[in-house]
Amino acid sequence: MNKVFILIFSVLFFTSCKQPAKVQNKDEKVVIVPGFNADSAYQYVQKQVDFGPRVPNSTAHKLCADYLSASLKNFGAKVIEQKADLQAYNGVVLKSTNIIGSYNIESKTRILLCAHWDSRPISDHDSNPQNFNKPVLGANDGASGVGVLLEMARVFGKNTPNVGIDIVLFDAEDYGAPENFVGNSENSWCLGSQYWSANPHVAGYTAKYGILLDMVGAPNATFYKEQISMSYAPDVVNNVWSIARNLGFSQYFINENGGAITDDHLYVNKIAGIPCIDIIHFNPNSEHGFGDFWHTVNDTMENIDKNTLFAVGTTLMNVVYKE
Contact footprint for Zn ion (CB under 5 A): 120, 141, 174
Provide, rounded to whole angstroms, the least separation between the CB of residue 136 and ligand AHN: 9
Provide, rounded to whole angstroms, the least separation between the CB of residue 79 and ligand AHN: 24
Q: What pairing do the DSSP bridges indicate for beta strands 93-103 and 209-214?
A: unpaired
84 contacts: CB under 8 Å, gap ≥ 6? 96, 97, 98, 192, 195, 199
Name which of Zn ion, ligand AHN, none residue 88 binds, using a CB cut-off of 5 to 8 Å depending on partner kind.
none
Per-residue 3-state assignment (H helix, E strand, C coil) for 209-236: EEEEEECCCCCCCCEEECHHHHHHCHHH
Helix runs in the chain, H state only: 3-16, 38-50, 59-74, 145-158, 191-198, 227-232, 234-246, 264-270, 306-321
Is the Cβ of residue 189 or residue 209 nearer to Zn ion in the bound state?
189
Q: Which of 126, 151, 174, 305 binds ligand AHN (CB under 6 A)?
A: 174
| Stretch of residues binding ligand AHN (CB under 6 A), selected from 62-70, 202-210, 258-266, 268-276 | 258-266
Rg, C-alpha atoms of the chain: 20
Residue whose Cβ sits closest to ligand AHN: 262
Measured between alpha carbons, how far is 10 from 80 in angstroms, rounded to an integer? 45
Provide, rounded to whole angstroms, the least separation between the CB of residue 133 and Zn ion: 16
CA distances to 12, 23, 207, 255 from 251, in Å: 28, 22, 30, 9
Q: Is 214 in the site for ligand AHN (CB under 6 A)?
A: yes
Name which of ligand AHN, Zn ion, none residue 226 binds, using a CB cut-off of 5 to 8 Å depending on partner kind.
none
Residue 315's nearest CA partner among 301, 307, 43, 268 is 307
Q: Is 185 in the site for ligand AHN (CB under 6 A)?
A: no
Q: Which of 131, 187, 262, 307 binds ligand AHN (CB under 6 A)?
A: 262
Q: Is 175 in the site for ligand AHN (CB under 6 A)?
A: no
CA distances to 67, 137, 226, 288 from 125, in Å: 29, 13, 22, 9
Contact status, residue 77 vs residue 153, Cβ threshold 8 Å: yes
Q: Which of 44, 189, 195, 241 binds ligand AHN (CB under 6 A)?
A: 189
Name which of Zn ion, ligand AHN, none residue 214 binds, using a CB cut-off of 5 to 8 Å depending on partner kind.
ligand AHN
Contact status, residue 264 vs residue 116, Cβ threshold 8 Å: yes
Residues in the chain: 323
| Stretch of residues binding ligand AHN (CB under 6 A), selected from 195-203, 222-230, 236-244, 256-264 | 256-264
Provide, rounded to whole angstroms, the least separation between the CB of residue 262 and ligand AHN: 4
Is the Cβ of residue 214 or residue 323 nearer to ligand AHN in the bound state?
214
Name which of ligand AHN, Zn ion, none residue 77 binds, using a CB cut-off of 5 to 8 Å depending on partner kind.
none
Phi and psi at 110, nearest 5°, equal: -125, 145
Provide, rounded to whole angstroms, the least separation between the CB of residue 174 and Zn ion: 4
Name which of ligand AHN, Zn ion, none residue 262 binds, using a CB cut-off of 5 to 8 Å depending on partner kind.
ligand AHN
Name which of ligand AHN, Zn ion, none residue 110 binds, using a CB cut-off of 5 to 8 Å depending on partner kind.
none
Angle between helices 145-158 and 306-321 (to 10 degrees): 50
Name which of Zn ion, ligand AHN, none residue 40 binds, using a CB cut-off of 5 to 8 Å depending on partner kind.
none
Helix (H, G, I), strand (E, B) or coil at 277: strand
Q: Is 141 in the site for ligand AHN (CB under 6 A)?
A: yes
| Binding site residues, ligand AHN, CB under 6 A | 141, 174, 176, 189, 214, 261-263
